[in-house]
Structure 1
Amino acid sequence: MLTLEQLCNQNSTSLRRKRLHQDDYYLFFLQESGSLQIALGFQVLELKQGDMLCVSPGQLHAALSATDSVTWVLSVVPALLSINDQAVFRWASDQYEPLPLPALYVELLIQGYRWTNELARVNVTQEISQQLRATALQACLRLLTVHYEQRKAHVKKVQTRPELLIHSFQGLVAQSFRTVKSPAAYASLLHVSASYLNEACVQVTGHPPGYWIQQQILEEAKRSLGYSELSVKEIAYALGYTDVAYFSRVFTRLAGVSPSLFRQTSRK
Protein backbone atom coordinates (compact mmCIF):
# COMPACT_ATOMS: atom_id res chain seq x y z
CA MET A 1 0.00 0.00 0.00
CA LEU A 2 1.29 3.42 -1.04
CA THR A 3 -1.50 5.98 -0.85
CA LEU A 4 -1.90 9.74 -0.69
CA GLU A 5 -4.71 11.76 0.86
CA GLN A 6 -5.22 15.52 1.05
CA LEU A 7 -7.29 16.78 3.99
CA CYS A 8 -8.50 20.26 3.06
CA ASN A 9 -10.00 23.08 5.13
CA GLN A 10 -10.09 21.02 8.30
CA ASN A 11 -11.29 22.67 11.51
CA SER A 12 -12.11 21.18 14.88
CA THR A 13 -15.79 20.87 13.93
CA SER A 14 -15.10 19.00 10.65
CA LEU A 15 -12.07 16.96 11.72
CA ARG A 16 -12.44 13.21 11.53
CA ARG A 17 -11.55 12.25 15.08
CA LYS A 18 -10.49 8.83 16.32
CA ARG A 19 -9.43 7.72 19.75
CA LEU A 20 -5.81 6.75 20.10
CA HIS A 21 -5.17 3.92 17.67
CA GLN A 22 -2.39 2.05 15.89
CA ASP A 23 -1.79 1.36 12.21
CA ASP A 24 0.42 -1.26 10.59
CA TYR A 25 1.96 1.19 8.12
CA TYR A 26 4.01 4.39 8.15
CA LEU A 27 2.26 7.76 8.01
CA PHE A 28 3.83 11.02 6.87
CA PHE A 29 1.87 14.18 7.69
CA LEU A 30 2.89 17.29 5.73
CA GLN A 31 1.24 20.50 6.90
CA GLU A 32 0.65 22.73 3.86
CA SER A 33 -1.19 25.47 5.77
CA GLY A 34 -3.08 26.14 8.99
CA SER A 35 -2.38 23.97 12.03
CA LEU A 36 -3.20 20.45 13.17
CA GLN A 37 -2.98 19.07 16.70
CA ILE A 38 -2.08 15.38 16.97
CA ALA A 39 -1.61 13.05 19.91
CA LEU A 40 1.44 10.81 19.39
CA GLY A 41 2.03 8.28 22.11
CA PHE A 42 0.72 10.31 25.02
CA GLN A 43 2.20 13.60 23.90
CA VAL A 44 0.25 16.37 22.15
CA LEU A 45 2.02 17.88 19.12
CA GLU A 46 1.09 20.81 16.90
CA LEU A 47 1.89 20.79 13.19
CA LYS A 48 2.31 24.19 11.57
CA GLN A 49 2.94 25.19 7.97
CA GLY A 50 5.96 23.36 6.58
CA ASP A 51 6.10 20.74 9.35
CA MET A 52 6.45 17.02 8.69
CA LEU A 53 5.52 14.33 11.20
CA CYS A 54 6.42 10.68 10.78
CA VAL A 55 4.37 8.00 12.58
CA SER A 56 5.70 4.44 12.58
CA PRO A 57 3.63 1.23 12.61
CA GLY A 58 2.36 0.50 16.11
CA GLN A 59 2.68 4.06 17.42
CA LEU A 60 -0.50 5.32 19.08
CA HIS A 61 -1.83 8.48 17.46
CA ALA A 62 -5.00 10.51 16.99
CA ALA A 63 -6.03 13.81 15.41
CA LEU A 64 -7.31 16.16 18.12
CA SER A 65 -8.07 19.56 16.63
CA ALA A 66 -7.40 21.70 13.56
CA THR A 67 -7.49 25.34 12.46
CA ASP A 68 -7.87 26.04 8.72
CA SER A 69 -5.75 22.96 8.17
CA VAL A 70 -4.60 21.59 4.82
CA THR A 71 -2.66 18.41 5.42
CA TRP A 72 -1.19 15.80 3.08
CA VAL A 73 -1.02 12.24 4.45
CA LEU A 74 1.23 9.68 2.76
CA SER A 75 0.73 6.05 3.88
CA VAL A 76 3.37 3.39 3.19
CA VAL A 77 3.48 -0.27 4.21
CA PRO A 78 6.87 -1.47 5.57
CA ALA A 79 7.18 -4.05 2.78
CA LEU A 80 7.79 -1.22 0.28
CA LEU A 81 10.72 0.16 2.28
CA SER A 82 14.30 -1.05 2.62
CA ILE A 83 15.65 -1.97 6.05
CA ASN A 84 17.73 1.22 6.01
CA ASP A 85 14.74 3.41 5.12
CA GLN A 86 12.69 1.84 7.90
CA ALA A 87 15.48 2.54 10.40
CA VAL A 88 15.62 6.18 9.26
CA PHE A 89 11.86 6.63 9.56
CA ARG A 90 11.82 4.90 12.95
CA TRP A 91 14.42 7.40 14.10
CA ALA A 92 12.25 10.25 12.83
CA SER A 93 9.12 8.98 14.58
CA ASP A 94 11.04 8.36 17.80
CA GLN A 95 11.77 12.10 18.03
CA TYR A 96 8.11 12.58 19.02
CA GLU A 97 8.02 16.03 17.45
CA PRO A 98 7.22 17.59 14.08
CA LEU A 99 10.37 18.25 12.06
CA PRO A 100 10.30 21.45 9.97
CA LEU A 101 11.26 20.85 6.35
CA PRO A 102 13.38 23.26 4.26
CA ALA A 103 11.17 25.48 2.11
CA LEU A 104 12.43 23.85 -1.11
CA TYR A 105 11.53 20.38 0.19
CA VAL A 106 8.03 21.55 1.13
CA GLU A 107 7.55 23.09 -2.32
CA LEU A 108 8.81 19.99 -4.13
CA LEU A 109 6.72 17.60 -2.05
CA ILE A 110 3.51 19.57 -2.47
CA GLN A 111 4.13 19.84 -6.21
CA GLY A 112 4.82 16.11 -6.34
CA TYR A 113 1.67 15.32 -4.36
CA ARG A 114 -0.49 17.53 -6.57
CA TRP A 115 1.05 16.05 -9.70
CA THR A 116 0.30 12.58 -8.33
CA ASN A 117 -3.37 13.49 -7.94
CA GLU A 118 -3.48 14.96 -11.45
CA LEU A 119 -2.18 11.67 -12.89
CA ALA A 120 -5.52 10.10 -11.99
CA ARG A 121 -7.07 12.23 -14.75
CA VAL A 122 -4.73 10.96 -17.49
CA ASN A 123 -6.56 8.91 -20.13
CA VAL A 124 -4.73 5.61 -19.64
CA THR A 125 -5.66 2.23 -18.19
CA GLN A 126 -6.13 1.96 -14.45
CA GLU A 127 -3.03 -0.24 -14.19
CA ILE A 128 -0.81 2.32 -15.92
CA SER A 129 -2.34 5.16 -13.88
CA GLN A 130 -1.54 3.30 -10.66
CA GLN A 131 2.03 2.66 -11.84
CA LEU A 132 2.54 6.34 -12.68
CA ARG A 133 1.16 7.47 -9.33
CA ALA A 134 3.27 4.93 -7.44
CA THR A 135 6.41 6.13 -9.26
CA ALA A 136 5.64 9.75 -8.37
CA LEU A 137 5.04 8.89 -4.71
CA GLN A 138 8.22 6.81 -4.56
CA ALA A 139 10.15 9.91 -5.70
CA CYS A 140 8.51 11.97 -2.93
CA LEU A 141 9.30 9.24 -0.42
CA ARG A 142 12.94 9.17 -1.51
CA LEU A 143 13.15 12.93 -0.95
CA LEU A 144 11.89 12.40 2.61
CA THR A 145 14.45 9.63 3.19
CA VAL A 146 17.29 11.92 2.08
CA HIS A 147 16.12 14.71 4.37
CA TYR A 148 15.76 12.47 7.42
CA GLU A 149 19.14 10.81 6.77
CA GLN A 150 20.79 14.24 6.68
CA ARG A 151 18.95 15.34 9.80
CA LYS A 152 19.92 12.17 11.67
CA ALA A 153 23.59 12.48 10.63
CA HIS A 154 23.68 16.12 11.76
CA VAL A 155 22.15 15.34 15.15
CA LYS A 156 24.62 12.50 15.73
CA LYS A 157 27.57 14.67 14.66
CA VAL A 158 26.84 17.49 17.11
CA GLN A 159 26.03 15.27 20.10
CA THR A 160 28.34 15.35 23.12
CA ARG A 161 29.50 12.19 24.91
CA PRO A 162 26.76 12.47 27.58
CA GLU A 163 24.14 13.00 24.85
CA LEU A 164 25.35 9.93 22.95
CA LEU A 165 25.26 7.91 26.17
CA ILE A 166 21.71 8.98 27.00
CA HIS A 167 20.58 8.29 23.44
CA SER A 168 21.93 4.72 23.85
CA PHE A 169 20.37 4.49 27.32
CA GLN A 170 16.93 5.51 26.09
CA GLY A 171 17.13 3.03 23.21
CA LEU A 172 18.13 0.29 25.61
CA VAL A 173 15.25 1.16 27.95
CA ALA A 174 12.79 0.94 25.05
CA GLN A 175 14.06 -2.59 24.32
CA SER A 176 14.49 -3.93 27.86
CA PHE A 177 12.14 -2.12 30.27
CA ARG A 178 9.95 -5.19 30.73
CA THR A 179 12.81 -7.17 32.26
CA VAL A 180 15.37 -4.56 33.37
CA LYS A 181 14.12 -1.87 35.74
CA SER A 182 17.24 -0.88 37.70
CA PRO A 183 19.34 2.16 36.65
CA ALA A 184 22.43 0.31 37.90
CA ALA A 185 21.67 -2.62 35.57
CA TYR A 186 21.44 -0.24 32.58
CA ALA A 187 24.72 1.39 33.61
CA SER A 188 26.36 -2.05 33.61
CA LEU A 189 24.95 -2.84 30.15
CA LEU A 190 26.32 0.48 28.89
CA HIS A 191 29.72 -0.12 30.53
CA VAL A 192 29.61 3.02 32.68
CA SER A 193 29.20 3.58 36.40
CA ALA A 194 25.74 4.15 37.84
CA SER A 195 26.85 7.55 39.13
CA TYR A 196 28.06 8.66 35.69
CA LEU A 197 24.84 7.49 34.02
CA ASN A 198 22.85 9.44 36.61
CA GLU A 199 25.01 12.55 36.15
CA ALA A 200 24.78 12.42 32.34
CA CYS A 201 21.04 11.77 32.38
CA VAL A 202 20.29 14.72 34.66
CA GLN A 203 22.61 16.93 32.61
CA VAL A 204 21.02 16.03 29.27
CA THR A 205 17.35 15.52 30.19
CA GLY A 206 16.84 17.13 33.56
CA HIS A 207 15.71 13.81 35.07
CA PRO A 208 17.54 10.79 36.55
CA PRO A 209 17.56 7.40 34.77
CA GLY A 210 14.83 5.97 37.01
CA TYR A 211 12.41 8.62 35.77
CA TRP A 212 12.80 7.51 32.13
CA ILE A 213 12.47 3.83 33.02
CA GLN A 214 9.21 4.58 34.83
CA GLN A 215 7.95 6.76 31.97
CA GLN A 216 8.57 3.94 29.50
CA ILE A 217 6.65 1.52 31.72
CA LEU A 218 3.85 4.07 32.19
CA GLU A 219 3.49 4.73 28.46
CA GLU A 220 3.35 1.03 27.63
CA ALA A 221 0.84 0.44 30.42
CA LYS A 222 -1.34 3.29 29.12
CA ARG A 223 -1.05 1.92 25.59
CA SER A 224 -2.21 -1.52 26.72
CA LEU A 225 -5.01 -0.17 28.92
CA GLY A 226 -6.33 2.15 26.23
CA TYR A 227 -5.92 -0.07 23.19
CA SER A 228 -5.89 -3.74 24.16
CA GLU A 229 -8.43 -5.97 25.87
CA LEU A 230 -5.87 -7.44 28.26
CA SER A 231 -6.82 -7.44 31.92
CA VAL A 232 -4.87 -5.33 34.41
CA LYS A 233 -3.32 -8.55 35.73
CA GLU A 234 -2.21 -9.61 32.24
CA ILE A 235 -0.76 -6.16 31.56
CA ALA A 236 1.13 -6.21 34.85
CA TYR A 237 2.66 -9.62 34.01
CA ALA A 238 3.56 -8.46 30.47
CA LEU A 239 5.42 -5.50 31.98
CA GLY A 240 7.39 -7.72 34.34
CA TYR A 241 5.35 -7.31 37.53
CA THR A 242 4.34 -10.49 39.34
CA ASP A 243 2.58 -8.52 42.09
CA VAL A 244 -0.50 -6.93 40.50
CA ALA A 245 -1.26 -4.82 43.56
CA TYR A 246 2.25 -3.36 43.46
CA PHE A 247 1.88 -2.61 39.74
CA SER A 248 -1.42 -0.84 40.42
CA ARG A 249 0.23 1.29 43.13
CA VAL A 250 3.11 2.20 40.81
CA PHE A 251 0.73 3.11 37.97
CA THR A 252 -1.51 5.18 40.26
CA ARG A 253 1.48 7.07 41.63
CA LEU A 254 2.79 7.88 38.16
CA ALA A 255 -0.48 8.52 36.35
CA GLY A 256 -2.53 10.01 39.17
CA VAL A 257 -5.38 7.54 38.58
CA SER A 258 -5.77 3.78 38.97
CA PRO A 259 -5.35 1.47 35.94
CA SER A 260 -9.08 0.71 35.89
CA LEU A 261 -10.08 4.36 35.99
CA PHE A 262 -7.54 5.24 33.28
CA ARG A 263 -8.98 2.53 31.02
CA GLN A 264 -12.51 3.75 31.66
CA THR A 265 -11.77 7.41 30.93
CA SER A 266 -9.49 6.79 27.93
CA ARG A 267 -12.23 4.95 26.05
CA LYS A 268 -14.91 7.58 26.34
Structure 2
Amino acid sequence: MTKKEKIQVHRMDDWFSGVYIKPFGYEKSSVPDYEISQPHRHDFYYCVLSDKGRMELEVDFEKVEITDQTLFLSYPGQIHRIISAKMERGWFLAFDPAILDEQLKNILDQCLSQIILVPLSPEQSAGFCSYINHLFVVYNDGAQMFRKTIIQAMVTGLIYQLASVYHSLEQFNLIRHPARSIEITKSFKQILRNNFKSIKKPSEYAAKMNMTVSHLNDTVKSVTGFSVTYFVQQELMREAQRLLFYSHLSVKEIADDLGFEDDKYFNRLFSKAIGISPGAFRKQGETSVHL
Protein backbone atom coordinates (compact mmCIF):
# COMPACT_ATOMS: atom_id res chain seq x y z
CA MET A 1 0.00 0.00 0.00
CA THR A 2 1.32 3.44 -0.90
CA LYS A 3 1.04 5.80 2.05
CA LYS A 4 -0.33 9.30 1.67
CA GLU A 5 0.50 12.43 3.61
CA LYS A 6 -2.82 12.02 5.37
CA ILE A 7 -5.03 8.99 5.82
CA GLN A 8 -7.58 8.73 3.02
CA VAL A 9 -10.97 10.02 4.14
CA HIS A 10 -14.15 9.08 2.27
CA ARG A 11 -16.82 11.77 2.60
CA MET A 12 -20.58 12.02 2.24
CA ASP A 13 -20.46 14.96 -0.18
CA ASP A 14 -21.95 13.23 -3.23
CA TRP A 15 -24.62 11.16 -1.52
CA PHE A 16 -28.29 12.16 -1.44
CA SER A 17 -29.64 13.38 1.90
CA GLY A 18 -26.43 12.44 3.70
CA VAL A 19 -27.34 8.75 3.26
CA TYR A 20 -26.01 5.88 1.14
CA ILE A 21 -27.82 2.54 1.19
CA LYS A 22 -27.18 -0.61 -0.80
CA PRO A 23 -28.14 -4.30 -0.45
CA PHE A 24 -25.30 -6.77 -0.81
CA GLY A 25 -25.17 -8.18 -4.32
CA TYR A 26 -27.00 -5.18 -5.78
CA GLU A 27 -25.09 -4.14 -8.92
CA LYS A 28 -26.86 -1.08 -10.27
CA SER A 29 -26.39 2.10 -8.23
CA SER A 30 -26.70 5.81 -9.01
CA VAL A 31 -24.16 6.79 -6.34
CA PRO A 32 -20.37 6.37 -6.40
CA ASP A 33 -18.60 3.35 -4.96
CA TYR A 34 -15.08 3.52 -3.54
CA GLU A 35 -12.14 1.23 -2.84
CA ILE A 36 -12.95 -0.53 0.42
CA SER A 37 -10.12 -3.05 0.66
CA GLN A 38 -7.56 -0.31 1.32
CA PRO A 39 -7.35 1.19 4.84
CA HIS A 40 -9.37 4.39 5.00
CA ARG A 41 -11.49 6.59 7.23
CA HIS A 42 -14.99 7.96 6.85
CA ASP A 43 -16.42 11.26 8.01
CA PHE A 44 -19.71 9.39 8.52
CA TYR A 45 -21.16 6.41 10.39
CA TYR A 46 -21.34 3.15 8.51
CA CYS A 47 -23.53 0.24 9.35
CA VAL A 48 -23.59 -3.36 8.10
CA LEU A 49 -26.59 -5.62 8.63
CA SER A 50 -25.75 -9.24 7.87
CA ASP A 51 -28.84 -11.44 7.63
CA LYS A 52 -26.88 -14.29 6.07
CA GLY A 53 -23.17 -14.32 5.30
CA ARG A 54 -19.81 -13.49 6.75
CA MET A 55 -17.51 -10.48 6.63
CA GLU A 56 -14.11 -9.92 8.21
CA LEU A 57 -12.92 -6.38 8.83
CA GLU A 58 -10.02 -4.69 10.54
CA VAL A 59 -11.12 -1.72 12.66
CA ASP A 60 -8.37 0.30 14.36
CA PHE A 61 -6.03 -2.73 14.26
CA GLU A 62 -8.64 -5.10 15.70
CA LYS A 63 -10.17 -7.95 13.73
CA VAL A 64 -13.98 -7.88 13.63
CA GLU A 65 -16.04 -10.77 12.29
CA ILE A 66 -19.61 -10.18 11.17
CA THR A 67 -21.68 -13.35 10.89
CA ASP A 68 -25.33 -14.31 10.27
CA GLN A 69 -27.91 -12.02 11.90
CA THR A 70 -25.46 -9.38 13.15
CA LEU A 71 -25.47 -5.58 13.15
CA PHE A 72 -22.20 -3.65 13.02
CA LEU A 73 -21.71 0.11 13.40
CA SER A 74 -18.49 1.99 12.66
CA TYR A 75 -17.85 5.48 14.07
CA PRO A 76 -16.59 8.41 11.98
CA GLY A 77 -12.80 8.62 12.13
CA GLN A 78 -12.08 4.95 12.71
CA ILE A 79 -9.61 3.36 10.29
CA HIS A 80 -10.87 0.19 8.75
CA ARG A 81 -10.66 -2.08 5.74
CA ILE A 82 -12.61 -5.10 4.56
CA ILE A 83 -10.43 -8.22 4.57
CA SER A 84 -12.98 -10.64 3.12
CA ALA A 85 -16.72 -10.70 2.49
CA LYS A 86 -19.11 -13.46 1.50
CA MET A 87 -22.48 -11.85 2.08
CA GLU A 88 -25.63 -13.54 0.79
CA ARG A 89 -28.27 -11.28 2.33
CA GLY A 90 -27.79 -8.01 4.08
CA TRP A 91 -27.42 -4.26 3.81
CA PHE A 92 -24.78 -1.57 3.82
CA LEU A 93 -25.86 1.82 5.17
CA ALA A 94 -23.79 4.98 5.55
CA PHE A 95 -25.10 8.22 7.02
CA ASP A 96 -23.91 11.69 7.93
CA PRO A 97 -23.70 12.46 11.69
CA ALA A 98 -25.43 15.76 10.92
CA ILE A 99 -28.78 14.03 10.31
CA LEU A 100 -28.92 12.60 13.86
CA ASP A 101 -30.60 14.50 16.66
CA GLU A 102 -28.57 15.51 19.71
CA GLN A 103 -30.00 12.79 21.95
CA LEU A 104 -29.02 10.03 19.53
CA LYS A 105 -25.52 11.47 19.07
CA ASN A 106 -25.10 11.43 22.84
CA ILE A 107 -26.31 7.83 23.06
CA LEU A 108 -23.78 6.70 20.45
CA ASP A 109 -20.95 8.72 22.01
CA GLN A 110 -21.62 7.16 25.41
CA CYS A 111 -21.37 3.54 24.24
CA LEU A 112 -18.68 1.89 26.33
CA SER A 113 -17.38 -0.21 23.43
CA GLN A 114 -15.29 1.24 20.60
CA ILE A 115 -16.80 -1.32 18.23
CA ILE A 116 -20.57 -1.81 18.08
CA LEU A 117 -21.30 -5.42 17.14
CA VAL A 118 -24.79 -6.64 18.01
CA PRO A 119 -26.06 -10.22 17.60
CA LEU A 120 -29.71 -10.36 16.56
CA SER A 121 -32.46 -12.91 17.00
CA PRO A 122 -34.04 -14.23 13.77
CA GLU A 123 -37.07 -12.02 14.47
CA GLN A 124 -34.93 -8.93 15.07
CA SER A 125 -32.89 -9.56 11.91
CA ALA A 126 -36.07 -9.99 9.83
CA GLY A 127 -37.49 -6.79 11.31
CA PHE A 128 -34.37 -4.74 10.55
CA CYS A 129 -34.18 -6.15 7.00
CA SER A 130 -37.84 -5.27 6.37
CA TYR A 131 -37.31 -1.74 7.70
CA ILE A 132 -34.20 -1.14 5.59
CA ASN A 133 -35.88 -2.56 2.50
CA HIS A 134 -38.67 0.01 2.92
CA LEU A 135 -36.03 2.71 3.38
CA PHE A 136 -34.32 1.56 0.18
CA VAL A 137 -37.58 1.84 -1.78
CA VAL A 138 -38.02 5.45 -0.65
CA TYR A 139 -34.32 6.16 -1.29
CA ASN A 140 -34.69 5.14 -4.94
CA ASP A 141 -38.06 6.82 -5.55
CA GLY A 142 -37.19 10.21 -7.06
CA ALA A 143 -40.90 11.09 -7.30
CA GLN A 144 -41.51 10.59 -3.55
CA MET A 145 -42.78 13.80 -1.96
CA PHE A 146 -40.72 14.86 1.10
CA ARG A 147 -38.21 12.15 0.16
CA LYS A 148 -35.20 13.72 1.90
CA THR A 149 -37.08 14.26 5.17
CA ILE A 150 -38.52 10.74 5.12
CA ILE A 151 -35.13 9.15 4.46
CA GLN A 152 -33.42 11.04 7.26
CA ALA A 153 -36.25 10.32 9.70
CA MET A 154 -36.18 6.62 8.83
CA VAL A 155 -32.41 6.40 9.28
CA THR A 156 -32.70 8.10 12.66
CA GLY A 157 -35.42 5.63 13.66
CA LEU A 158 -33.28 2.70 12.53
CA ILE A 159 -30.27 3.84 14.56
CA TYR A 160 -32.45 4.38 17.64
CA GLN A 161 -33.53 0.74 17.27
CA LEU A 162 -29.90 -0.37 16.92
CA ALA A 163 -28.94 1.68 19.99
CA SER A 164 -31.82 0.13 21.93
CA VAL A 165 -30.67 -3.43 21.15
CA TYR A 166 -27.03 -2.58 21.95
CA HIS A 167 -27.84 -0.83 25.22
CA SER A 168 -30.04 -3.71 26.35
CA LEU A 169 -27.01 -6.00 26.01
CA GLU A 170 -24.74 -3.46 27.66
CA GLN A 171 -27.12 -2.97 30.59
CA PHE A 172 -27.35 -6.73 31.09
CA ASN A 173 -23.55 -6.95 31.32
CA LEU A 174 -23.45 -4.03 33.77
CA ILE A 175 -26.40 -5.10 35.91
CA ARG A 176 -24.31 -5.41 39.08
CA HIS A 177 -23.25 -1.74 38.92
CA PRO A 178 -25.31 1.20 40.29
CA ALA A 179 -27.11 3.23 37.63
CA ARG A 180 -25.31 6.41 38.72
CA SER A 181 -21.89 4.78 38.26
CA ILE A 182 -22.81 3.68 34.74
CA GLU A 183 -24.09 7.17 33.93
CA ILE A 184 -20.82 8.77 35.14
CA THR A 185 -18.72 6.30 33.16
CA LYS A 186 -20.71 6.87 29.98
CA SER A 187 -20.46 10.66 30.37
CA PHE A 188 -16.71 10.40 30.85
CA LYS A 189 -16.36 8.24 27.73
CA GLN A 190 -18.36 10.76 25.70
CA ILE A 191 -16.25 13.72 26.88
CA LEU A 192 -13.06 11.72 26.25
CA ARG A 193 -14.10 10.76 22.71
CA ASN A 194 -14.54 14.43 21.81
CA ASN A 195 -11.63 15.97 23.74
CA PHE A 196 -8.76 13.47 23.99
CA LYS A 197 -6.33 15.67 22.02
CA SER A 198 -6.82 18.73 24.20
CA ILE A 199 -7.54 17.21 27.64
CA LYS A 200 -5.13 14.65 29.04
CA LYS A 201 -5.25 14.99 32.82
CA PRO A 202 -7.83 13.04 34.86
CA SER A 203 -8.28 16.13 37.03
CA GLU A 204 -9.43 18.13 33.98
CA TYR A 205 -12.04 15.53 33.09
CA ALA A 206 -13.20 15.49 36.71
CA ALA A 207 -13.49 19.29 36.69
CA LYS A 208 -15.63 19.20 33.52
CA MET A 209 -17.91 16.71 35.27
CA ASN A 210 -18.03 18.70 38.55
CA MET A 211 -16.61 15.96 40.75
CA THR A 212 -13.38 15.04 42.45
CA VAL A 213 -10.76 13.17 40.47
CA SER A 214 -10.75 10.34 43.00
CA HIS A 215 -14.53 9.88 42.68
CA LEU A 216 -14.35 9.85 38.87
CA ASN A 217 -11.43 7.45 38.81
CA ASP A 218 -12.94 5.09 41.41
CA THR A 219 -16.26 5.06 39.55
CA VAL A 220 -14.80 4.41 36.10
CA LYS A 221 -12.54 1.70 37.48
CA SER A 222 -15.38 -0.01 39.34
CA VAL A 223 -17.48 -0.23 36.15
CA THR A 224 -14.76 -1.03 33.58
CA GLY A 225 -11.83 -2.35 35.59
CA PHE A 226 -9.58 0.40 34.20
CA SER A 227 -8.57 3.87 35.39
CA VAL A 228 -9.31 7.23 33.76
CA THR A 229 -5.63 7.53 32.83
CA TYR A 230 -5.77 4.19 31.04
CA PHE A 231 -8.69 5.30 28.84
CA VAL A 232 -7.08 8.67 28.05
CA GLN A 233 -3.88 6.93 26.99
CA GLN A 234 -5.75 4.30 24.98
CA GLU A 235 -7.60 6.97 23.01
CA LEU A 236 -4.37 8.86 22.30
CA MET A 237 -2.40 5.75 21.38
CA ARG A 238 -5.17 4.49 19.09
CA GLU A 239 -5.00 7.71 17.08
CA ALA A 240 -1.19 7.63 17.17
CA GLN A 241 -1.20 4.11 15.69
CA ARG A 242 -3.57 5.23 12.93
CA LEU A 243 -1.27 8.09 11.95
CA LEU A 244 1.93 6.06 12.21
CA PHE A 245 0.54 3.20 10.16
CA TYR A 246 -1.26 5.09 7.42
CA SER A 247 0.45 8.47 6.99
CA HIS A 248 3.86 9.99 6.30
CA LEU A 249 3.64 12.46 9.18
CA SER A 250 6.82 12.43 11.27
CA VAL A 251 6.71 11.22 14.86
CA LYS A 252 7.15 14.83 16.01
CA GLU A 253 4.27 15.98 13.78
CA ILE A 254 2.07 13.22 15.18
CA ALA A 255 3.00 14.22 18.74
CA ASP A 256 2.09 17.83 17.90
CA ASP A 257 -1.21 16.77 16.32
CA LEU A 258 -2.12 14.87 19.49
CA GLY A 259 -1.35 17.86 21.69
CA PHE A 260 2.00 16.75 23.13
CA GLU A 261 4.45 19.62 23.65
CA ASP A 262 7.33 17.18 24.23
CA ASP A 263 7.76 14.56 21.50
CA LYS A 264 10.24 12.64 23.69
CA TYR A 265 7.51 12.20 26.29
CA PHE A 266 5.17 11.03 23.55
CA ASN A 267 7.79 8.47 22.48
CA ARG A 268 8.13 7.14 26.03
CA LEU A 269 4.37 6.96 26.53
CA PHE A 270 3.81 5.17 23.23
CA SER A 271 6.57 2.67 23.94
CA LYS A 272 5.17 1.91 27.37
CA ALA A 273 1.56 1.55 26.18
CA ILE A 274 2.14 -0.35 22.92
CA GLY A 275 5.33 -2.21 23.81
CA ILE A 276 7.49 -0.86 20.98
CA SER A 277 8.66 2.60 19.93
CA PRO A 278 6.69 4.71 17.41
CA GLY A 279 9.48 4.20 14.85
CA ALA A 280 9.44 0.43 15.28
CA PHE A 281 5.66 0.37 15.03
CA ARG A 282 5.80 2.32 11.76
CA LYS A 283 8.49 0.01 10.36
CA GLN A 284 6.37 -2.98 11.33
CA GLY A 285 3.46 -1.49 9.39
CA GLU A 286 5.60 -0.90 6.29
CA THR A 287 6.37 -4.61 6.08
CA SER A 288 2.73 -5.69 6.56
CA VAL A 289 0.79 -6.99 3.59
CA HIS A 290 -2.64 -5.46 2.92
CA LEU A 291 -5.31 -6.63 0.50
Shorter-chain TM-score range:
0.7 to 0.9
1:215 is matched with which residue? 234
1:254 counterpart (264, 273, 281): 273
2:119 is matched with which residue? 100
CA separation in 2, counterparts of 1:169 and 1:73?
31
The one-letter amino acid paired with 2:223 is: V
C-alpha displacement at 1:164, in angstroms? 1.9
Evaluate the alpha carbon distance shift between residue 82 and residue 203 of structure 1 in structure 2; reply closer, same or farther with a 3 A threshold.
closer
2:158 counterpart (135, 144, 153): 144
2:189 is matched with which residue? 170
Q: Secondary structure at the match of 2:281?
A: helix
C-alpha displacement at 1:219, in angstroms? 0.8
1:3 lines up with 2:10 in the alignment: no
Structure 1 stretch displaced more, 59-68 or 245-254: 59-68
Q: Secondary structure at the match of 1:234?
A: helix
CA separation in 1, counterparts of 2:166 and 2:134?
29
Question: 1:225·1:232 contact (CA, 8 Å) conserved in 2?
Answer: yes
TM-score (norm 1): 0.75
The one-letter amino acid paired with 2:158 is: L
C-alpha displacement at 1:223, in angstroms? 2.1
C-alpha displacement at 1:140, in angstroms? 5.2
1:236 lines up with 2:261 in the alignment: no
1:62 lines up with 2:81 in the alignment: yes
1:183 is matched with which residue? 202
C-alpha displacement at 1:150, in angstroms? 3.6
The one-letter amino acid paired with 1:144 is: L
Q: Secondary structure at the match of 1:230?
A: coil
Q: Residue deviations 1:158-180, cap 9 Å, x none? A: 66222222222222323333333
TM-score (norm 2): 0.70
CA separation in 2, counterparts of 1:139 and 1:98?
23
**Ranges in structure 2 where 5+ consecutive residues have no aligned partner:** 1-14, 26-34
Q: Secondary structure at the match of 2:211?
A: coil
CA separation in 1, counterparts of 2:207 and 2:137?
57
Question: 2:60·2:78 contact (CA, 8 Å) conserved in 1?
Answer: yes
The one-letter amino acid paired with 1:205 is: T
The one-letter amino acid paired with 1:62 is: R
Evaluate the alpha carbon distance shift between residue 95 and residue 172 of structure 1 in structure 2; reply closer, same or farther with a 3 A threshold.
same
CA separation in 1, counterparts of 2:216 and 2:96?
38
CA separation in 1, counterparts of 2:194 and 2:187?
11
The one-letter amino acid paired with 1:56 is: Y
Point out the structure with the larger helix share.
1
Q: Secondary structure at the match of 1:163?
A: helix
CA separation in 1, counterparts of 2:200 and 2:285?
26
Q: Secondary structure at the match of 2:24?
A: strand
2:62 is matched with which residue? 43
Aligned length: 256
C-alpha displacement at 1:23, in angstroms? 1.4
Structure 1 stretch displaced more, 137-146 or 224-233: 137-146
CA separation in 1, counterparts of 2:111 and 2:207?
28
Q: Secondary structure at the match of 1:75?
A: strand
**Ranges in structure 1 where 5+ consecutive residues have no aligned partner:** 9-15
Q: Residue deviations 1:191-225, cap 9 Å, x none? A: 33333333223221112222111111101111222
Structure 1 stretch displaced more, 89-98 or 23-32: 89-98
Evaluate the alpha carbon distance shift between residue 219 and residue 85 of structure 1 in structure 2; reply closer, same or farther with a 3 A threshold.
same
Evaluate the alpha carbon distance shift between residue 146 and residue 252 of structure 1 in structure 2; reply closer, same or farther with a 3 A threshold.
closer
The one-letter amino acid paired with 1:203 is: S
Evaluate the alpha carbon distance shift between residue 91 and residue 135 of structure 1 in structure 2; reply closer, same or farther with a 3 A threshold.
same
What CA RMSD, in Å, does the superposition of the two structures yield over aligned residues? 3.7
CA separation in 1, counterparts of 2:167 and 2:87?
34
Tell me: higher relative CO, structure 1 or 2? Use CA pairs within 8 A at least 6 residues apart: 2
CA separation in 1, counterparts of 2:112 and 2:192?
17
Q: Secondary structure at the match of 1:57?
A: coil
